[in-house]
Amino acid sequence: MRSVKLHLFLLCVAGVALLGYQCCDPSAKPQNGKFSPYWADTLTPNSVEAIKERHPNVKALASLSGWSLGDEALRWYNPENPKLWIDNAFTSLTSLAEEYHLDGVDIDYENFPRNNASFAYCIGELITLLKNQSVISVATIAPFHSTTVLPYIELFITYGVVIDYVNHQFYTDKVRSPKGYLAAFQLRATQFDKDKLLPSYEVNGRGIQGDAFSDALNLLGANIGFDVNGVMIFSADASSSNNYYYERKSQAFLTNSTSV
């Protein structure tokens, strides 16, 4: 049995709890890097602080962007002045991190223009600045099957040193068997650092479902060359109805490092 330092990441996402996105109004109009919170009223600075006090291993991350804000699709755009975008983003996220006791950010842009020229630079420099100034201690990225892999590969190649985990959304790879999941993981491991790549699961959603996901974790764990260093479960809202069954099984897998 290996020694595991287990952290629970409270990922605060658009429409669920917490979102930082480059807009300040419900129309999702870009605001040149000035991130604003869109989250449930119950998620307050005091509530985040209370959770972290009760559970010292919890780290709270703000998810930047996501697929949509209500009915409005969220999109990366190429800022006219990347340096100004980075400065604005750093200032607004520093304020949010201090107010809401945040430990990090999760980069979850899912729609890109055809001629994307600035994503890797802007996001990579932003993460670097946030870490260098000790605003955050954790940064993750969340690519998925179709529209986002290439921009995130470019980001990771240049700025992988400041990225802690790759939360690839494997449920978008449309694999439904443990062997298919292993093949998908092996592919993404060639595109990103295999030691930072996390398996993921969507509760009552797309891709592999039910205990087949546990079988996939066991297959990954048994595969020579792979150490599973974490699991991403989406989402807590869906998991609450079954007492967080998959989170519990995944935690057991990580702590036992044998079988679920």
How far is Cα 240 from Cα 133, in angstroms, rounded to an integer?
A: 36
CA distances from 198 to 47, 126, 188, 228 (A): 28, 23, 10, 7
Name the residue type at position 222. A
Asked if residues 249 and 260 have their Cβ atoms less than 8 Å apart, the reply is yes
CA distances from 102 to 71, 88, 137 (A): 27, 18, 9
φ/ψ (deg, to 5) at 195: -80, -15
* Catalytic site includes residue 110: yes
Helix (H), strand (E) counts: the chain: 8, 11
What angle separates helix 245-256 from helix 212-222, to the nearest 10 degrees?
20
Q: Write out the two tokens for 167.
A: 């939360």
- Contacts (Cβ under 8 Å, ≥6 apart) of 91: 34
Name the residue type at position 25. D
Half-sphere exposure of residue 137, counting CA atoms within 13 Å on the CB side? 9
Q: Which 3 state secondary structure label does DSSP give 13? A: coil
Catalytic residue among 72, 80, 110, 154: 110
Name the residue type at position 23. C
Which residues are identified as catalytic?
Answer: 110
